[in-house]
Amino acid sequence: MMERAYVLINCDTGCEESIIKELKKMDSIKEIHGTLGVYDIIAKVESENQEELKEAIIGDIRKLTNIKSTLTLMGAGDIDIGEKMAELIPDIIPEEKKPLVPTDMNEDEEYDDEDDDFEDDDFEEKKK
């Protein structure tokens, strides 16, 4: 089974094309895409084992000229998503949905949502 990682690369402005050319020469790079946003390039890296994968990222990619930073996302392997989601759901979705109530209320008080209208007269006075 191949080990896989995705490396998000931030490089010096204007160097994206030359870095992509260098990355294409590497055997461990399986895909490369230029991106917009914080990171400039994303590379899919694959190797026979984690040690080779680590060497490709640290020894090859990160040592390229004009790379400012990288963020590596390691593959999680063969995870049965359905089984894992079933384990997570109780943490994500509470068993009983409770209505939101203001935190300054006592438990014995009843919540009246008619008082929720925002009166901006006080706000306008404070602005002056």
* 91 pLDDT higher than 90: no
Entry pTM: 0.60
Tell me the sheet residues that pair with 10: 69
Please spell the DSSP secondary structure of 1-38, one letter per residue: --EEEEEEEEE-TT-HHHHHHHHHT-TTEEEEEE-SSS
- pLDDT at res. 123: 52
Count the neighbouring beta carbons within 10 Å of the beta carbon of residue 9. Answer: 26
- pLDDT at res. 72: 95
Q: pLDDT band at 74, cuts 50/70/90?
A: confident
* 65 pLDDT higher than 80: yes
- pLDDT at res. 86: 57
Q: Which domains does the chain have, with CATH numbers?
A: 3-74 (3.30.70.920)
Strand intervals (E) in 58-104:
67-74
Tell me the sheet residues that pair with 67: 11
Whether the Cβ atoms of residue 45 and residue 53 lie closer than 8 Å to each other: yes
- Kindly give, in sequence order, each residue whose CB lies less than 8 Å from that of residue 101, ignoring residues fewer than 6 positions away: 111
Which two three-digit tokens encode residue 120? 């901006």
* 67 pLDDT higher than 80: yes
The string of pLDDT tens digits covering residues 27-52 is: 999 999 999 989 999 999 999 999 99
- Kindly give, in sequence order, each residue whose CB lies less than 8 Å from that of residue 44, ignoring residues fewer than 6 positions away: 4, 5, 6, 29, 30, 31, 32
